Amino acid sequence: MATLSFLDRSRSIAHPGFNRWLVPPAALAVHLSIGQVYAFSVFKNPLLALHSADGSQWNLEEVGAIFSIAIVILGLSAALFGKWLEREGPRKAMFAAACCFGIGFQIAAAGASTHQLWLIYLGYGVIGGVGLGLGYISPVSTLIKWFPDRPGLATGLAIMGFGGGAMIGSPLGTHLMAFFKAAGDAAIPSAWITMGILYFIFMMFGVFTIRVPAGGWKPAGWTPPARQSAMITSHNVDVSGAMGTPQFYLLWLVLALNVTAGIGILEQASPMIQDLFHGQVTAVAAAGFVGVLSLFNMAGRFIWASCSDYLGRKPTYMIFFALGMVLYFLLPYTGTQHMDSVVLFVLIAGILISMYGGGFATIPAYLRDMYGPYNVSAIHGRLLTAWSVAGIVGPLIVNGILDHYNAMHIPREQAYPLILHIMAGLLVIGFVANVLVRPVSQRFWMKEQPTGAVPAGR
């Protein structure tokens, strides 16, 4: 359709003199929106309280599946549509993401209104999940091409938005439900319809603002360094080639293990602090702890990814794994039975979660260093399946051990040393995988230098 031709890659090429600092806000508009998925828990209790015409209600497991479906579809759609995104450009992909995310809310609202869970699964989980996956990867390669001098900073800014999105989505959902309830409307359907419209409009700001650099563009006054680390390639590997390299699977493991360990804390944050500091930390204070972790998660995404431009990607992950191992080992000993220090517990958990967020934000730049900027969004998309797997494995480890201790009538606080020491052990494997990452063999390099691809430096 001619009316949609403005979405074409050719129509989004920046004019000479375009300021590249307009691109991070475009990326942030998308990531701040889709980050709402991490605030989905605010709808859990209201959904559990809904009744169908025959008086039946949904259980926790059924409602919990909405979030799980969305995250699994995020990983799958990022892997499936990455190549399409590289071909069609970020504007079309962002538009598709905005449509899917916005429409997903509308279908889910119909499901909540008619008490049909399958409609919520289809709307928020599947269609919204495709919006999440497309939206997550759509600005990555564009940012890397605009910021060849600071790829970590650029992708860190965008992916920080995903962490920040939860902070917006949580109060937005809560306030909207309270508003519609007070007005005598159905709280969840009305809130979801409104959120779908608001997020669509906000994401469209990103669609209209995003630009791709013209072929051969580079920042004014910047020249690629003549000599740079062997860990930063000046060639390109396409997504099919990247899948044939051992580096892809090592980095997949690096991301999966870093995320699994982080989920070990995030999954159980509120009960963990209450169990380890029994009688000292109330449920209200524990909710505050979850807020503190959100702040560390968001800040870590920007700070660690930006630092990786100077430290190098491999050393940054070395820090995540080495420091993480020590801190996960120490964390259970901060409880009342040992050091009895809430401050130390919060500080250590905060640093660990900053490295969890930092792992997400640094991986696109690591992929760029390994494979060049040409297909980095598509490769990133495939790598995000590690997130889906970690999202299943992490809670399985935590809940499996806690269930076992409950069944054996052993106090829950005694389970945490085992859980957290398993996480420390996973980081040892991650450390080894990261050590094994070497420059990609030249047999995988693309024969022709693609248009618009510029070598990057630190």
Partner 1 sequence: MANEKKTSAGLVAAAWIVVSLPLAWGIYNTVLGAAKLFTPLHQSAPAQVRTP
Which residues contact partner 1 by CB under 8 A?
15-19, 21-22, 25-26, 28-29, 32, 41-46, 161, 164-171, 173-174, 202, 205, 209, 280-292, 294-295, 298, 346
Smaller CB separation from partner 1, 69 or 157: 157
Task: Give dist(CA 96, CA 77) in Å, integer.
Answer: 12
Q: How far apart are the first and last CA of the chain?
A: 42
Chain centre distance of CA 75? 10
CB of 163 to partner 1, least distance (A): 10
Please say whether the beta carbons of 431 and 268 come within 8 A.
Answer: no
CB of 169 to partner 1, least distance (A): 8
> CA 428 to CA 426: how far, in whole Å?
5
Closest contact distance (angstroms) between CB of 37 and partner 1 is 14
- List all residues 6 or more positions away from 200 whose beta carbon is below 8 Å from its beta carbon: 98, 99, 101, 102
**CB of residue 207 vs partner 1: minimum separation in angstroms?**
13
* Packed helices 269-276 and 246-266: angle between N→C axes, nearest 10 degrees: 50
Residue closest to 267 by CA, chosen among 406, 419, 379:
419
* Residue (129 or 161) nearer to partner 1, CB: 161
Contact at 8 Å (CB) between 257 and 427?
yes
Residues 375 and 238: beta-carbon distance below 8 Å: yes
| CB 133, min distance to partner 1, A | 21
Q: Which is nearer to partner 1, 46 or 439 (CB)?
A: 46
Closer to partner 1 by Cβ: residue 17 or 55: 17
Q: Which of 219, 90, 98 lies closest to 142 in space, CA to CA?
A: 90
**What is the rounded distance in angstroms from the CA atom of residue 452 to the CA atom of residue 450?**
6
Identity of the residue, 253 or 281, whose beta carbon is nearer to partner 1 in the bound complex: 281
Enter the tokens of residue 334: 């901060």
Closest CB 135 distance from partner 1, rounded Å:
14
Q: Which is nearer to partner 1, 199 or 371 (CB)?
A: 199
Q: Which is nearer to partner 1, 29 or 122 (CB)?
A: 29
CA-CA distance, 199 to 32, in Å (whole number)?
9
Q: For residue 168, give both structure tokens.
A: 């917006």
Cβ proximity to partner 1: between 33 and 362 the closer is: 33
Look at the alpha carbons of 284, 285, 288, 289 in this order and tell me if their dihedral is positive or negative: negative
Minimal distance in Å, beta carbon 149 to partner 1? 18
Nearest-CA neighbor of 34 among 243, 195, 239? Answer: 195
* Shortest reach from residue 201's CB to partner 1, in Å: 11
